[in-house]
With several copies, the nearest count.
Chain A
Amino acid sequence: MNDSPPLKHILEAALLAAGGPLSLDHMQTLFAPGSVPDKTALRGALAQLQQDYHGRGVELVEVGGGWRIQVPASMAPWVSRLWEEKPGRYSRALLETLAIIAYRQPVTRGEIEEIRGVSVSTSIMRTLQERGWVRTLGHRDVPGRPAMYGTTRAFLDHFNLKSLDQLPSLAELRDLDEIHPELDLKFPEDAAPEAKSPDGAVIGEDPQER
């Protein structure tokens, strides 16, 4: 054991291999009888390690269960992406709602529902607002004082637009299937069946869809 590595490196190895806190007592059990460092020595080595880690990607902290090497909060912007889920997809209902808000703003939820023929779920409105694409502009001065919605700067930025003007006009949109045949626009008969109940009643959205 003459060429044993420095104590702080043994502790570094053990703490990282453990992946969680180690108490001083536990650290002592790692050493062969006769070469067990006392707690003062352990504390000294840990203090050195703490210093070594200054400004690095990890830090050494004392927690209830002992000492632990952890990733500092300043690294969260990168590290949290490690476990990021793959981006999901927005539902058709959400996209339609967004499109109507973009073209008809300021517009209330009731007006959106009237155009779409189905109710607009609260979760869709919340998602659009959380995403920062839609905001409340005020309230219409009618019974119930419904909120009026419009699009935001972030909406324009996301779609790389300088202003809403750059969106094709509704008339142009009508010819969209000629411009982009690959979009395969449907005729009403083929359109999402949710929009048509036999009696024309408004059908609620699937609460699961975002």
Chain B
Amino acid sequence: MNEQLTAERMTPEEAVAVTSTVRVRGERLTELPRDLYIPPDALEVFLEAFEGPLDLLLYLIRRQNLDVRDIPIASITRQYMEYVELMKDLRLELAAEYLVMAAVLAEIKSRILLPRPVQAEEEDEDPRAELVRRLQEYERYKTAAENMDSLPRMGRDLFGASACSRGMEAGRREPEVSLQELLAALADVMARAEMFSHHHVQRETLSVRERMSQTLERLSADSFTQFHDLLRPEEGRRGIVVSFLALLELIKEALVELVQSEPFAPIYVRARA
């Protein structure tokens, strides 16, 4: 596990475990801040490992096994300033936030040092309260981030499972059409046809049209079909009339021809080739 550690993941404690010689701007660093036991060389990595002033403060407090709510402001402030000075010396990109925090600490320290009237003590909020709240708030998300990092996650602990499905390309789904759409389209075209063309769309009996289609389909150009085969008695009188009208319409439109060899002989029908 250790060799996988990167600077960003290295905790200060882990950084402390490494040792060699520390150099600042090419010169040996002779004077280290008090309480700052820094592994030489790892110093820069160590300082960069902090995610900001709150993180640094938390480290200083935790290192002494103290409760966040019981910060010894004086000593923590001193230690904090030493780190900040060191960061300046190392010319680490020192975020302005570190300096803002230094000011906050100095302010708290001064308020604690100032003597306060005994009566006022109960009403006055502990000057550390706001800082403690922020530290706690930060720490809970810092912990949440660590917890989140330990959740099993895809690509590291878990892997997607997939099977080859080549050859099962997407079928295209056919568009849906409602009857209303169809009728609206026809109404449109009719309106246009009436205005613009000589063509007259007449009132039609659709059953005749339909039967014309059916009849045509049954007929072939190569052979004759008996006329009475086109009529289906089981459809009743109306059905026969419709079939007959369809046939007449087909004859009128010269789509079929009739053949009868002699009067009363069977009538044959065939499609016009």
Chain A residues with CB under 8 Å of chain B are: 13, 16-21, 58, 68-73, 75-76, 79-93, 95-96, 98-100, 102-106, 114-119, 131, 137-138, 140-141, 148, 150-151, 157-161, 163-165, 167-180, 183, 185-188, 191-192, 195-196, 200, 210
Say yes or no: B151 contacts A160, CB within 8 Å: yes
Say yes or no: A79 contacts B168, CB within 8 Å: yes
Say yes or no: B174 contacts A87, CB within 8 Å: yes
B residues near A21, Cβ cutoff 8 Å: 164
Q: Interface with A: B14-22, B84-92, B133-141, B260-268, which one?
A: B133-141
Q: Interface with A: B27-35, B73-81, B108-116, B178-186, which one?
A: B178-186
Say yes or no: A95 contacts B177, CB within 8 Å: yes
Q: For the complex, is B99 an interface residue (Cβ under 8 Å from A)?
A: no
B residues near A71, Cβ cutoff 8 Å: 158-161, 163-165, 168
CA distance A188 to B176 in the complex (A): 26
0 or 1 for each of B111-151: is its CB under 8 Å from A? (1 = yes): 00000000000000010110011101111111111111101
CA distance A76 to B63 in the complex (A): 35
5 A-B pairs with the lowest CB-CB distances in the bound complex, closest first: A19-B162, A118-B52, A99-B186, A150-B213, A83-B170
Say yes or no: A80 contacts B189, CB within 8 Å: no
Give the residues from 1 to 53 in chain B that come closer than 8 angstroms, CB to CB, to chain A: 4, 6, 8-9, 51-53
Say yes or no: A88 contacts B197, CB within 8 Å: no
Q: For the complex, is B212 an interface residue (Cβ under 8 Å from A)?
A: yes
With A80-B171, A169-B203 as contacts: A70 and B159 at CB distance below 8 Å: yes
User: How far does the Cβ of A193 sit from chain B's closest Cβ, in whole Å?
Assistant: 11
Say yes or no: B210 contacts A164, CB within 8 Å: yes
- Closest A residue to B150 by CB, please name it: A168
Specify which of B159, B160, B272 lies most central, judged by the most chain A CB atoms within 10 Å of its CB. B159
Point out the residue from B4, B141, B168, B181 that lies within 8 Å of A80, measured CB to CB: B168
Q: For the complex, is B229 an interface residue (Cβ under 8 Å from A)?
A: no
